[in-house]
């Protein structure tokens, strides 16, 4: 289920992305032809306004960034930021708290810098069950009218899974996570701790979705490099406890399910009741949402680890045009793998008498 893309590093000397030279960065003009003398400092040649040069440099950077993203790489600004962080005398940044930093260092890791990955994705349209049936695959159920006689408001209800919506969400998540992990790999990190996965809908339920992954890249001095850095949403203290108990984090895993509920006359009748009553059609959709999302989380975790810890579940109901509703459930956790049969020994704590008791 994890569709991570290859790193897609740019070719050329030093791995520079096309258009990442001094002229593309807006840091100066391109070298002039031999024998031509440039204008005096502070003066712009006629026909070459500074605004046009800045606009051309910005356009070149944008085109180079788009080309890099299409090949699974990082944009020019991200590579420049990472190069500045790796430069001699550069300072690292982190979203770890003081307690988290102390716990990470106690576990043998050192911070390298804050890394980020994002993706804005367009979700395609998927027609309803009543038009094409369960053509997209996935879960579906039919809710017939519970009345034993025909009436003018008689209507069948449908529950059906938005498979196209789910695939788009997974792909957007994978793009954001892979870009964050690639930034960490550029810094020589062994993993990313304290990952926060943010999800927004700029246009409401349908249309655009945005995933942003932010975390702190860490490495263990003297340890051999990993093929791909691990990712974890655990805090620094939780990461230290996890390693001390004989487990290591593998990857941040996610399961998602989205089911649309098109109410039938039975559900509409219950919604208009003056008595306390359950809405079986929505209850069944919510139950299947949880089962499908958690099953996908476990299957994704089984590909990289032994189990999942720190599982977080977010359930929401969105109103759709008409009386339909979209039930959406996200499950998020960190897949872990055991590396030691017994927990690591803890350092002894010093005991000191604060006052003399005689």
For residues 330 and 170, give the distance between their C-alpha atoms in angstroms, rounded to a whole number.
11
Top mean pLDDT of 4-18, 142-156, 281-295 is at 281-295
Sequence-ordered list of residues with C-beta below 8 angstroms from that of 283, at least 6 positions apart, any chain: none
* Strand intervals (E) in 57-190: 110-122, 140-143, 157-161
| CATH number of 259's domain | 3.30.110.70
354 domain residue, yes or no: no
16 domain residue, yes or no: no
pLDDT in tens, 171-197: 999 999 999 999 999 889 999 999 999
171, 256 contact by CB (below 8 A): no
Give the model's pLDDT for residue 154: 73
Selection from 15, 10, 24 nearest residue 61 by Cα: 24
31 domain residue, yes or no: no
In this structure, what token pair is assigned to residue 97? 């708290």
For residues 157 and 268, give the distance between their C-alpha atoms in angstroms, rounded to a whole number.
10
Domain extent for 249: 118-187+222-229+242-338
In degrees and rounded to multiples of 5, residue 255 shows phi and psi of -130, 140
179, 68 contact by CB (below 8 A): no
What's the predicted TM-score (pTM) here?
0.69
Q: How many domains does the chain have?
A: 1
38 domain residue, yes or no: no
Least confident of 37-51, 56-70, 221-235, 312-326: 37-51
For residues 302 and 53, give the distance between their C-alpha atoms in angstroms, rounded to a whole number.
53
350 domain residue, yes or no: no
209 domain residue, yes or no: no
Going edge to edge, which strands form the sheet with 247-262? Answer: 140-143, 157-161, 247-262, 325-338, 307-319
280 domain residue, yes or no: yes
Sequence-ordered list of residues with C-beta below 8 angstroms from that of 46, at least 6 positions apart, any chain: none
250 domain residue, yes or no: yes
For residues 185 and 7, give the distance between their C-alpha atoms in angstroms, rounded to a whole number.
9
């Amino acid at each position: 289920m994890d569709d991570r893309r290859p790193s897609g590093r740019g070719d050329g000397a030093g791995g520079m992305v096309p258009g990442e030279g001094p002229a593309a960065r807006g840091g100066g003009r391109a070298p002039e032809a031999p024998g031509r003398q440039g204008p005096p400092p502070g003066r712009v040649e006629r026909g070459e306004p500074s605004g046009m040069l800045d606009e051309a440099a910005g356009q070149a950077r944008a085109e180079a960034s788009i080309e890099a993203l299409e090949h699974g790489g990082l944009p020019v600004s991200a590579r420049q930021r990472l190069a500045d962080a790796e430069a001699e005398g550069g300072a690292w940044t982190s979203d770890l708290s003081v307690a988290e930093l102390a716990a990470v260092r106690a576990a043998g890791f050192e911070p390298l810098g804050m890394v980020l990955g994002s993706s804005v994705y367009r979700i395609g349209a998927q027609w309803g069950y009543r038009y094409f049936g369960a053509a997209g695959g996935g879960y579906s159920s039919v809710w017939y009218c519970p009345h034993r006689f025909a009436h003018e408001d008689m209507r069948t209800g449908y529950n059906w899974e938005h498979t196209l919506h789910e695939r788009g969400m997974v792909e957007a998540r994978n793009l954001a996570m892979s870009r964050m992990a690639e930034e960490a790999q550029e810094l020589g990190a062994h993993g990313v701790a304290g990952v926060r996965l943010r999800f927004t809908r700029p246009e409401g339920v349908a249309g655009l979705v945005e995933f942003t992954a932010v975390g702190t890249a860490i490495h263990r001095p003297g340890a051999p490099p990993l093929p791909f850095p691990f990712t974890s949403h655990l805090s620094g203290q939780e990461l230290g406890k996890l390693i001390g108990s004989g487990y290591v984090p593998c990857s941040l895993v996610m399961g998602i399910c989205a089911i649309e509920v098109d109410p039938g006359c039975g559900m509409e009748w219950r919604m208009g009741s003056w008595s306390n009553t359950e809405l079986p059609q929505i209850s069944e959709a919510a139950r299947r949402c949880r089962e499908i999302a958690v099953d996908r989380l476990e299957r994704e975790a089984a590909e990289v680890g032994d189990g999942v810890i720190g599982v977080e579940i977010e359930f929401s109901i969105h109103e759709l045009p008409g009386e339909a509703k979209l039930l959406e459930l996200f499950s998020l956790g960190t897949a872990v793998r055991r590396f030691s049969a017994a927990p690591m020994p803890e350092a002894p704590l010093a005991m000191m008498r604060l006052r003399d008791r005689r």
